[in-house]
Amino acid sequence: MSRCAAIQMASSPNISSNLIEAERLINEAVNAGAKLVALPENFALMGQHESDKISQKEHDGSGPIQDFLANTAKRYAVWIVAGTIPIADPDNADKVMAACLVYNELGERVAKYDKIHLFDVHVPGSDEVYRESDTISQGNQPLVIDSPFGKLGIAVCYDLRFPELFRTMQQQGMEILILPSAFTHKTGAAHWELLLRARAVENLCYVIAPNQGGFHVNGRQTYGHSMIVDPWGAVLDCHKSNAGFVTADIDLARLHKTRESFPVLQHRQIICG
């Protein structure tokens, strides 16, 4: 078994202070036994304005946020799934990729996932309007990678609402889904736990879901409730509000036994309309 952690933050427009907070929480999670730590979406920058991510973008492979991640992973000998950071889009100077970077315990970057589904919505029953596509370029490739903990599938926030993405990842061998997020308070209260548990049950996988949680300088309120869910849909740990983290042991032997004794994944039929 391997102990993993999901970190919850209420990030601000100040990158330096966010990185200090992230390292504090990573240190605490490692001291609690975590060998893999996942940070929430926008952990390093929750800007005052959406355009802030353009002015603070880093080029792929270099920059203070990426240096922090590599150095921190090496210092604490821990795998880090680094929420999202703004990485320059080489094809469009006016937009960035919402990139989730993965570092191993040696501080080496082993993977990059660019968020596929962009949050362009008017939240029902509120005056909240989001248009991520104004500043973010859309990714187009699912990501499943090998790790010492099992096969990791990486997705981000709004991706959670598109089950066909996770079925594709499951067919690529996903055993642990990691979903950095910044769910709004209103949508989170309605759907966050429901969707996380559904994705775990549908794919008989663990779900590690670090979320932003609290009030932000830009006026947003995020839902929190970072959690880890097992393949049977049970919530193993949950941190409801403000900064903190959750931990749980990932038991691949139990996962494989569940898949063998309850072979729903093998029973899937392709329905052509």
List residues with catalytic annotation.
41, 115, 157
In the chain, what is the greatest distance between 2 CA atoms, to the nearest angstrom? 53
Task: Name, in order, each residue with C-beta under 8 angstroms of 130's C-beta and a sequence gap of 6 or more.
Answer: 119, 120, 121, 123
Q: Which helix (H) or strand (E) is 206 found in, with range?
A: strand 206-209
CB 93 within 8 A of CB 81: no
- CA neighbor of 211 nearest in space, from 36, 32, 21, 41: 41
Rg (CA), the chain: 17
| Inter-axis angle of helices 163-171 and 193-203, nearest 10 | 30
Best CA proximity match to 242, nearest among 219, 226, 220: 226
Show Cβ contacts of residue 229 under 8 Å, excluding neighbours closer than 6 positions: 196, 197, 200, 206, 207, 209, 235, 236
d(CA 123, CA 179): 21
Residue 72 vs residues 22, 37, 78, 208: alpha-carbon distances, Å: 10, 11, 8, 20
Return the residue matching tokens 């309605």.
Answer: 190
Dist. CA 71–CA 63, nearest whole Å: 12
